[in-house]
Amino acid sequence: MLRLVLLLLGLLTLVGLLWYIGPARILDAVAGVGIAALLIILLPSVLMYVLEAFGWRLTLGRHADAVSFGRLFAIRAAGEVVNMTTPTAYVGGEPLKAYLLKKHGVPMVEGFASVVTAKTTMTIAQVGFILLGIALGFWILGSSGSPAHAVVAASVSVGLLLFGTVIFVVVQRRGLFTGLLGVLRQSRIRIHFLEVREERLRDLDRTILDFYARDQRAFLLATGTFFLGWLAEALEVYVILYYLGGPADLLSAISIGALSVFIKGGTFFIPGSLGAQDGGNLLLLLAFGYGELTGITFALLRRVRELVWIGIGLLCLAAIGGRGTELPIPNGKK
């Protein structure tokens, strides 16, 4: 019920923004971009998805050759559909990725471990990207005024996010899933489904620990690759602003892209971050000196990109037989 309320509020917010700025003006701005430009605007997101699939591949270790890169790309696109369309903090599609890997020869434990480590390295890269965007925001906007106050607030929030990420990595090194089971037991909460799979959860924790302990080079390469993927998102910002008439500045694009990622992540509890993401993008562009028409058109074009990838992800999910699947806990069977 709460999700439905948040979705309706987000929808009303978006409709209100569109009505305030003027639907006719927005349609003229979008039409002025042109079909060819729209296709070019999609190219940075293709690069982003390719880099993120490659970063995930680096966490698969010896099983990386079991799945072709094209198949891995399709599995990731299928999982991201769930992440983008459900209010699950962008992790709802991760078990699906592990299950689909199992269908293509990767043991469930190793597949699920790669999903966890890939999500971790991607989050570390994301925090670095946001911190870079905040630093550039301070430099571009100056140290006074309401935009700077917003950047300060974002800095504090990202500091908390960074702290949480560090804690998450430390917990993984100590045993994420068996640790969770231990906490439940100490709280006198017994979940039979997890209790009977304790040894399988231990195997999963050992596999994750092996990645951090033995594959430090892969850890660093994956983090760097994901960081390049986030920079590809900033490239998308630059391209959109260029076709909307600019001015398009690379450093501003990085800052806007990073802060936009932060806004989207902070509104995960709203399905699709509807309304919040769009209003946030509008406010960001206003802070960087762009007009409200450019701001809302920018937000809508990014929504178009999301819809395109949702469509691609659904096609990938159908093609690799992901519909109607059950997602079991990793069983450790080879």
Per-residue pLDDT in tens (0 to 9) along the chain, 334 residues: 665 676 677 677 767 777 767 777 777 777 777 788 888 989 999 999 999 999 999 998 888 888 889 999 999 999 888 887 776 656 678 888 888 888 888 888 888 888 888 988 998 898 889 888 888 888 887 754 455 555 565 666 666 666 666 776 676 666 666 666 666 667 766 666 566 666 777 777 777 877 777 778 888 999 999 999 999 999 999 999 998 887 888 998 999 999 888 888 766 667 667 767 888 888 888 888 888 888 888 888 888 888 899 999 999 988 886 444 444 444 444 4
> Residue for token digits 């800095």?
155
pTM, entire model: 0.81
Query: From CA 72, how far away is CA 63, in angstroms rounded?
Result: 12
Which residues are within 8 A (CB) of 51 and not within 5 positions of it... i.e. 6 or more apart?
225, 226, 228, 229, 232
Query: From CA 125, how far away is CA 107, in angstroms rounded?
Result: 27
Tokens of 17: 């923004």
Position 129, amino acid: F
Tokens of 73: 């790309």
Position 311, amino acid: G
Query: From CA 300, how far away is CA 219, in angstroms rounded?
Result: 35
Backbone angles phi, psi at 5, to 5 degrees: -60, -45
Q: From the CB of residue 276, how many other CB atoms can be counted at a distance below 10 Å? A: 21
E strand spans, the chain: none
The whole-angstrom distance between residue 330's C-alpha and the CA centroid of its chain comes to 23
Interior/surface letters 143-170, b for 16+ CB within 10 angstroms, e for the rest: eeeebeebbeebbeebeebbeeeeebbe
Query: From CA 269, how far away is CA 275, in angstroms rounded?
Result: 12
